Amino acid sequence: GAGVSQSPRYKVAKRGQDVALRCDPISGHVSLFWYQQALGQGPEFLTYFQNEAQLDKSGLPSDRFFAERPEGSVSTLKIQRTQQEDSAVYLCASSFPTNTEAFFGQGTRLTVV
């Protein structure tokens, strides 16, 4: 597609619920990143994929967070047993190749109630 697409745009989850956030990167982009942005803050790195390989997951805040990119294109960020502190905007970005300009999606705003 023309840009990075994320869905859903908004998600309200009850505490304890599992959620799945989807990212469609720009076609052909090798690198895919997930970031978390709390209100009033800059985005913070969560995880990085090169094709289907998850090369860095050091930013994932807990083992409740899991990301995958099984075929090297679409990626899913899953959060299990959501908690209020998970409320944030989750941004996906892609680039080709790594360390060139990154293009960000519109984000998914997750609110845990």
Partner 1 sequence: KQEVTQIPAALSVPEGENLVLNCSFTDSAIYNLQWFRQDPGKGLTSLLLIQSSQREQTSGRLNASLDKSSGRSTLYIAASQPGDSATYLCAVTSGTYKYIFGTGTRLKVLA
Q: By the criterion CB under 8 A, which residues form the site for partner 1?
A: 4, 6, 31, 33, 35, 40-45, 48, 56, 59, 91, 93, 98-107, 109
Nearest to 51 by CA among 36, 66, 29: 29
Query: Min. distance of Cβ 35 from partner 1 in angstroms?
Result: 7
Q: Which is nearer to partner 1, 45 or 66 (CB)?
A: 45
Nearer to partner 1, 18 or 44 (CB): 44
Closest CA to 109 of 3, 4, 5, 8: 8
Question: How far apart, in whole angstroms, are the C-alpha atoms of residue 54 and residue 63?
Answer: 15
> Cα(43)–Cα(46) distance, rounded to whole angstroms?
9
User: Which one, 80 or 87, has the nearer CB to partner 1?
Assistant: 87
C-beta of 23: minimal distance to partner 1 in Å?
11
Q: Residue 75, class by beta-carbon neighbours within 10 Å (0-12 exposed, 13-18 middle, 19+ buried)?
A: buried
Residue 81 Cβ, how far from partner 1 at the closest point, in Å?
A: 27
User: Residue 25 or 43: which CB sits closer to partner 1?
Assistant: 43
